Amino acid sequence: MKIGIMGTGYVGLVHGAVLSSYGFQVTCMDVDVDKIKHLQDGNSPIYEPGLEELLRHSLRDGLLTFTTSPQQVIQESDVIFIAVGTPAKEDGGADLSYVRDVIQQIATYINGYKVIVCKSTMPVGTSRRIATYLDTLLTDRRSDFRADVVSNPEFLRQGKAVTDALSPSRVIIGTESSQAKETLQTIYQVHIQHHVPFLYTNLETAEMIKYASNSFLAVKISFINELALVSEKVGANIQDIATGMGLDERISPHFLQAGPGYGGSCFPKDTQAMLDIGEKNDEDLYIIRAAIAANEKQMKSMINKISEALSVNGTLQGKTIAIWGLSFKPETDDIRYAPSFEIIKGLLQQGAMVNVFCPQGMEQAKRMWSDFNNRIHYCQSEAASAQDADAIVLMTEWHQFRAHNWPMIAKTMRGNAFFDLRNMFTTDVQVREQFQYYSVGSS
Ligand SMILES: NC(=O)c1ccc[n+]([C@@H]2O[C@H](COP(=O)([O-])OP(=O)(O)OC[C@H]3O[C@@H](n4cnc5c(N)ncnc54)[C@H](O)[C@@H]3O)[C@@H](O)[C@H]2O)c1
Ligand SMILES: O=c1ccn([C@@H]2O[C@H](COP(=O)(O)OP(=O)(O)O[C@H]3O[C@H](CO)[C@@H](O)[C@H](O)[C@H]3O)[C@@H](O)[C@H]2O)c(=O)[nH]1
């Protein structure tokens, strides 16, 4: 069985690398010529722990190939995974134009029965519409070929994408075709052997499971973040509150870490898309709407916290602030919808100078935030960013930020404020002694 993947980003590339490591012949296709060239040269265009090694093995074994040709990937493959982006449109709905392009290409080049697997996150109803659209295109072209469509949402987390793809929490397969179901069972044979939970549903349910999961996690984060703001005012400690709540296994301790607000390429867009799905079905989803609003408020609260501590006569003019971490979470180079950007913009607006350092996110930041390139100073290390600064703002909990000669860092600074927006150092005596220390959700 040959597998094709259309869209070679965080999901498509990781999935391609993992499936080829199981011995499948996989072709990954992308419209981004530079990305494919990079991959053909044996380099990963993204930072994801364990990925480069996996790619190297599959390339060496000849199981993984990369192409920009839709014709090649479609005609060579029995199963075609769609892993293109489904970003948010202005109105919050999902932009399905990349998915439409792929379907049109499949209709053009189809040369036999295909199983089309929707891995991209798509609003409920999309997979069924894909099946109908493809049927119409094939009928118009008087084609005898046919395809089955499966919704098989992806739940991997960035920074842990390889381990998550190798060992997923669950596999959801939405299909009404027994042939397609068998095909997916063959592809996920390894997971079946390892007793990964499988759930078979219809197309709509599978699509909803993806949005429901991300929305629920976003709600959990906004819930704890709101309580963190109150805790600061009443002398309670949010980390202990989360621990205490999490001891109840109905609540679970996961996703209760207070911080600057959630970000990334999924939660912000998927919660918005979920609202849009609700609206299109005459349902106002109050809880998700509130989670989004609380997330926006959380980022503003972080800016206020910094500004209240540092501003003189209502301005940050003349203050230099070191930002540690740009990526939306550790172990990724991805800065899409990173809270760091909102906070940097807020500080710049109030007149501050901003020095930044991120172990992996700086190249993307320079590219994606190019309008701000003359206002953001990119530094060689976190220590360099702190030199002559009035404050450090820790945005992302990269492991390397943990171990420092804190007295030395403090000595090179002009001020001594330390805003730990990830609560990395709440119990670190040295950091608390050395700096005027601010955390999230405790005093
Ligand atoms: N990033 C994650 O952690 C994650 C996890 C689960 C699900 N998802 C979902 O998976 C999908 C992909 O996300 P991603 O983060 O990998 O996106 P990405 O932006 O990293 O990658 C998408 C790729 O698709 C390519 N592309 C666009 N049009 C194409 C076409 N017509 N043919 C071939 N390639 C095309 C782009 O060039 C890009 O390389 C989204 O729907 C996302 O919501 C993402
Ligand atoms: O207790 C927590 C947990 C997470 N976050 C933040 O939430 C965001 C998202 O984190 P995480 O879920 O770990 O990262 P993603 O890689 O975006 O993964 C989410 O989004 C993916 C794309 O849909 C899904 O596949 C995953 O299952 C889902 O966890 C980040 O900004 C985190 O800092 C918190 O603030 N507190």
CATH number at residue 289: 3.40.50.720
pLDDT of residue 253: 95
User: How far apart are the CA of 425 and the centre of ligand 1, in A?
Assistant: 35
Q: Which of 149, 177, 201 is the last residue of a domain?
A: 201
Is the distance from CB of 213 to CB of 273 less than 8 angstroms? no
Q: CB within 8 A of 219, min separation 6: which ones?
A: 287, 288, 291
The tally of domains found in the chain comes to 2
- Same-domain status, 223 and 192: no
Q: Report the pLDDT value the prediction gives residue 416, as an integer from 0 to 100.
A: 97
Q: Using the atom order of ligand 2, give the atom closest to the CA of residue 265.
A: 17
Q: Measure 164 CA to ligand 2 centroid, in angstroms.
A: 13
Residues 291 and 172 in one domain: no
Q: Which ligand is nearest to the CA of 332?
A: 2
| Ligand 2 probe mutation, 208, 216, 262, most atoms within 8 A of CB | 262
Cα(23) to centroid(ligand 1), Å: 23
Q: Is the pLDDT of residue 355 over 90?
A: yes
Backbone angles phi, psi at 9, to 5 degrees: -100, -150
Please identify, by atom number, the ligand 2 atom nearest to the C-alpha of residue 121: 23
Ligand 2 mean position to 310 CA, how many Å? 30
Banded pLDDT at 14 (limits 50, 70, 90)? very high
Best residue among 13, 106, 265 to mutate for probing ligand 1, ranked by most atoms within 8 Å of CB: 265
Which range of residues forms the domain containing residue 34?
2-201
How far away, in angstroms, is 35 Cα from ligand 2 center? 25
pLDDT at site 125: 97
pLDDT at 101: 98
Residue nearest to atom 23 of ligand 2 (CA): 266
- Tell the residue number behind the tokens 């530094």, with chain if given: 379
Q: How confident is the model at residue 141 (pLDDT cuts 50, 70, 90)?
A: very high
Same domain, 173 and 246: no
Residue 207 is assigned to a structural domain of this protein: no
In a domain, 208, yes or no: no
Same domain, 58 and 156: yes
Pocket of ligand 1 (CB under 6 A): 6-12, 29-32, 35, 83-86, 98, 101-102, 120-121, 154, 156, 158, 265-266
Q: Please report which ligand is nearest the Cα atom of 168.
A: 2
For residue 210, is it within any domain? no
Band of residue 373 on the pLDDT scale cut at 50, 70, 90: confident
**Are residues 192 and 66 part of one domain?**
yes
Task: Tell me the ligand closest to 83's alpha carbon.
Answer: 1
Asked if residue 106 belongs to a domain, the reply is yes
* 64-67/79-82 β-pairing: unpaired
Helix H segments across 350-440? 362-368, 382-386, 406-412, 429-434
Q: What pLDDT is recorded for position 428? A: 96
Average pLDDT over residues 133-147: 94
Which residues contact ligand 2 via a Cβ below 6 A?
A: 121, 154-158, 214, 217, 221, 255-257, 259, 262-264, 266-267, 328-329
Q: Distance from the CA of 269 to the center of ligand 1, in angstroms?
A: 13
Sign of the torsion formed by the C-alpha atoms of 43, 44, 49 and 55:
negative
The residue among 201, 236, 259 that closes a domain is 201
Co-location of 249 and 356 in the same domain = yes
Which residues touch 388 (CB under 8 Å, ≥6 apart)?
320, 412, 413, 414
For residue 181, tell me if it sits in a domain: yes
Read off the pLDDT of residues 260-296 as tens digits, 9 standing for 90 and up: 999 999 999 999 999 999 999 999 999 999 999 999 9
**Residue 279: per-residue pLDDT:** 96
Contact, 390 vs 417, CB < 8 A?
yes
Q: Determine the pLDDT at residue 366.
A: 97
Catalytic positions: 266
User: Residue 413 has what pLDDT?
Assistant: 98
Please indicate, yes or no, whether residues 426 and 367 belong to a single structural domain of this protein.
Answer: yes
Q: In what order do the strands lie in the sheet with 147-151?
A: 64-67, 25-29, 2-6, 79-82, 114-118, 147-151, 171-174, 198-201
Do 162 and 15 lie in a common domain?
yes
Asked, for residue 443, whether it belongs to a domain, the answer is: no
| Residue 89 pLDDT exceeds 90 | yes
Q: Which of 174, 201, 228 is the last residue of a domain?
A: 201
Give the number of whichever ligand sits closest to the CA of residue 337: 2
Strand partners for 54:
none
* Mean predicted lDDT score pLDDT of the chain: 97
Does the pLDDT of residue 443 top 90, yes or no?
no
- Whether 329 and 419 map to the same domain: the answer is yes
Confidence of residue 32 (pLDDT cuts 50, 70, 90): very high
| Confidence bin at 398 (pLDDT 50/70/90) | very high
Average pLDDT over residues 158-185: 97
Reduce the DSSP state of residue 199 to 3 states and report it.
strand
Interface confidence (ipTM) of the complex:
0.99
Q: Judge whether 226 lies within some domain.
A: yes
Q: How far apart are CA 124 and CA 111, in angstroms?
A: 28
Q: Where are the alpha helices (DSSP H) in 172-250?
A: 178-187, 189-193, 203-234, 238-246
- In a shared domain, residues 223 and 184: no
Report the alpha-carbon distance of residue 289 to residue 274 in Å, rounded. Answer: 9
In 22-115, alpha helices (H): 33-40, 51-60, 70-76, 97-109
pLDDT, mean of residues 147-151:
98
- Residue 53 pLDDT level (bands cut at 50, 70, 90): very high
User: Are the beta carbons of 86 and 198 closer than 8 angstroms?
Assistant: no
Closest C-alpha residue for ligand 2 atom 8: 262
Give the chain's end-to-end CA distance (angstroms, integer).
59
Atom of ligand 1 nearest to the CA of 121: 41
Report if residue 161 sits inside a domain.
yes
Q: Are residues 197 and 244 in the same domain?
A: no
Annotated binding site: 30, 35, 86, 121, 210, 255-259, 263, 269, 329, 336
User: Do 76 and 152 sit in the same domain of this protein?
Assistant: yes
Which atom of ligand 2 lies at the shortest distance from residue 161's CA? Answer: 16
* Residues 6 or more apart in contact with residue 363 via CB below 8 angstroms: 333
Residue 273 burial (C-beta neighbours within 10 Å; 0-12, 13-18, 19+)? buried
How many Cβ atoms are within 10 Å of 227's Cβ, its own excluded? 18
- What number is the average pLDDT over the span 137-151? 95
